[in-house]
Amino acid sequence: MNKTGLFEKMKMAVIEGDKHEAESLAQNAVESKMEMIEVIEKGFTPGIQKAGDLWESGEYFLPELISSAECMTSAMKILQPELIKAGVSAKTLGKVIIGTIEGDIHDIGKNLVASMLAANGFEITDLGADVKLEKFISKAQEINADYICLSSLLTTTMIGQKKIITMLKDKKLFGHIKVMVGGAPVNSQWAHDIGADGYAENAITAVTAAKKLL
Partner 1 sequence: MLSTIRPKLEFLSKELINKIIEEAYIILERQGIFVENSEALGLFKEAGMKIDTSSQRVFITPELIQDCLNSTPSLIKMYDRNGEKEFVVGGDEAHFDPGSAAVTILDHDTGDQRKADTKDLIRFARLTDLMDNIDFQSTGIISSDIPDIISDSYRLYLGLKYCNKPIVTGTFRVEGFKPMFDMLVAIRGSEQELLDKPLAIFDACPSPALKWSNLTTQSLIDSARAGIPSELISMGMTGATSPVTIAGTLVQHVAENLGGLIICQLAHKGAPVIFGGSPSSFDMRKGTTPMGAIETMMIDSGYTQIAKHLNLPSHAYMGLSDAKVNDNQAGLESGIGSVLAALSGVNVISGPGMMDFESCQSLEKLVIDNEICGMALRLIKGIAQRDDPIATDLFQGFTADTQFLSMPHTRKWYREEHIFPGIIDRDTYDYWVSLGKKTSAERAKDKVEELLQKDKPSTLNDDVQIELQNIMLADAKKNGIDKLPKQIK
Binding segment for partner 1 (CB under 8 A), chosen from 79-87, 98-106, 120-128, 173-181, is: 98-106
Is 159 a binding residue for partner 1 by CB under 8 A? The answer is yes
In angstroms, rounded to a whole number, what is the distance separating the alpha carbons of residues 2 and 64?
28
Closest CB to partner 1 among 26 and 186?
A: 186
When asked if residue 138 is in the footprint of partner 1 (CB under 8 A), the reply is no
Nearer to partner 1, 53 or 142 (CB): 53
Q: How far is the CB of 3 from partner 1 (least distance, A)?
A: 36
**What is each CA distance from 113 to 31, 76, 120, 205, 206, in whole angstroms?**
32, 17, 11, 9, 7
| Bridge partners, residue 149, by sequence | 98, 180
Edge-first strand listing for the sheet containing 178-182:
122-126, 94-100, 147-151, 178-182, 198-199
Touching partner 1, residues 182-211 (CB under 8 A): 184-185, 202-203
Number of residues in the chain: 214
Which residues contact partner 1 (rule: CB under 8 A)? 58, 61-63, 103, 105-106, 108-109, 112, 155-156, 159, 184-185, 202-203
